[in-house]
Amino acid sequence: MAYVVRRISVHEYGIYLLAQAVAAFLYLLEFGMGNVLVPLYISTFARSGIAEVSRLASTGFLALLGLGAAGAVVLSLAALFIPRWIGLPSADTALAVRVLIVMSVAVGLALSQMMLEQLCQAFHRFDRVNQVQIAVVALRVALTIAVLMTGRGIVALATVQVAVSGLRLAGLWAVASTSINGLTLRFRFDRELLLQAMHMSKWAFGDDISHRIALNVESVILAALGSFEQLALFGVGSRLPAHLYQFASRGMSVLLPTLSKHHAEADKAQLRATLSAVYRVCLTGLVPLASFAAICGPALMKIWAGQAYAGAAPVLAWLLMSSLSMVMALASDMVLYSHDQIRKAALFSILQTLGKIALALALARQYGALGVAVGIAVWHWSVNLFFFLPAACKVAELSQWELWRVALTGHSREDGRQGAGDRRGNLIQGGAFVLCAVALGSGMKVLGTLEMFVACILTSLLYAGIWANCTALPMWRRARTEASAAL
């Protein structure tokens, strides 16, 4: 992105983000199946074997491939009217329509990837999914730089998305077929299996609708009530928080099969341990790193995106706080999904989305990107703390205070008395966070932009090393000890 925003204008980047946000609504055509496929694959395999899983995956793949193609055609036709609906200036209409058509093709190709990616996750082939992702990202970077070096604009940038999406689809098909024993993917369709999956996902579809709207509605509202410049500031400011959330959600994707197993075995003790461990990683690992990035926001924006996007620094800070809430809410959401409380998770998600829409509409015109970012952060934390978290704690039969205590100390009452070494590690870790934050805050007054950027990186690496020694390694050793005892 640092290269892209220096090659195209702020105004054009805003148009590109708007087209991307509108095209992303095509993901609704998966009808919420992405939220239930991992448990469905696991239960189907346990009940009927790999042959039935093959039929289910093949059916879902064909269905979503067809829906993606149809959705891309419909959205391409609707692109002629969408600019008028959101009040797009006539001078920008032709360019926005072209980009939207190309982006709709990219999303249409991406839709069916979900069936294959969830299939690999259900059989714990996260390694293969990540290998495909790494290769695709490297290719996307190379193609993006290549097309922009030749002077092409945002239409060519969107075309890169199409090429990369098609190659990722082929890659996931190949790794799913070869890495899962006994799996046979074919172009065949079973209507009954598709109806079964859609029936299971009826409340998940409501959750998916609210989630997709929540991800993209700010861009549409800022384009309609603000300006493309404000939309570009919001888009650039949201990129690092989005990567933080994607990084955390990728790591947490392994949890859903584990939480589903806890539910099947009625093992509340392990459920509490897993939930507490996730919150400990978030509070002691992600919160400090996000805080360092928020403090150094002005330097990060100037180095990363240039002086034209310096105004995105406060947007970055507030959206980092929002992304932390999203990560913690995701853990609670997974607990609810794994324990068949999909309806409750969907209702909370809908409430969250409705609040975000209302705040964006109220704040976008007068306060622009910053006002929308502040409203989103405050509302997301409110829904998380008063709805998602209490519901997950109730399922785990764990009080909220006990969850926070275990997350901060690393020890539950069931573990017995906390050792002196663990207390010392917690003090070292907490002290390092405070000292690093104070040092960065003080450095803003005396250090230049480049020096603050370097200081942020070095401070984050220093804290990450302390965190690994005080939290990550003890958690890993404890998990290995428990696994050995179970064997």
Query: Which of the listed residues 174, 200, 226 is the one where a domain comes to its end?
Result: 200
Could you give the number of structural domains in the chain? 2
How does residue 135 score in pLDDT terms, banded at 50, 70 and 90?
A: very high
The mean pLDDT value of the chain amounts to 83
pTM to 2 decimal places? 0.72
Question: Does 346 share its domain with 426?
Answer: yes
Q: Which of 200, 224, 258 is the C-terminal boundary of a domain?
A: 200
Tens-digit pLDDT profile for residues 51-79: 888 888 888 888 888 888 898 888 888 87
Cβ-defined contacts of 12-15 (< 8 Å, 24+): 12/95, 12/153, 12/154, 13/154, 13/228, 13/232, 13/235, 13/236, 14/223, 14/227, 14/228, 14/229, 14/230, 14/231, 14/232, 14/235, 15/92, 15/95, 15/96, 15/99, 15/154, 15/228
Domain housing 256: 201-487
Average pLDDT, integer, range 20-32: 80
What pLDDT, in 10s, does the model give residues 270-285?
A: 888 888 888 898 889 8
240 and 195 in a common domain: no
Q: Are residues 209 and 115 in the same domain?
A: no
Q: Which residue has the tokens 């006539």?
A: 90
Question: 241 and 166, same structural domain?
Answer: no
Q: What pLDDT, on a 0 to 100 scale, did the predictor assign at position 202?
A: 59
- pLDDT tens-digit series, residues 139-154: 999 999 998 888 888 8
Q: What is the pLDDT of residue 96?
A: 81
Neighbours of 324 (CB within 10 A): 25
Same domain, 244 and 381: yes
If asked whether residues 366 and 387 sit together in one domain, one would say yes
Q: Which residues, other chains included, contact 152 with Cβ-Cβ below 8 Å and sequence gap of 6+?
A: none
- Dig out the tokens for 63 from the structure: 């269905």
Average pLDDT of the segment spanning 27-34: 74
pLDDT tens, position by position, 203-247: 556 666 676 777 777 888 887 787 878 888 888 888 889 888 888
Same domain as 148, residue 10: yes
Domain boundary among the residues 176, 200, 224 is at: 200
* Encoded amino acid at 480, one letter: R
Mark whether 335 and 468 lie in a shared domain.
Answer: yes
CA distance 237 to 313: 7
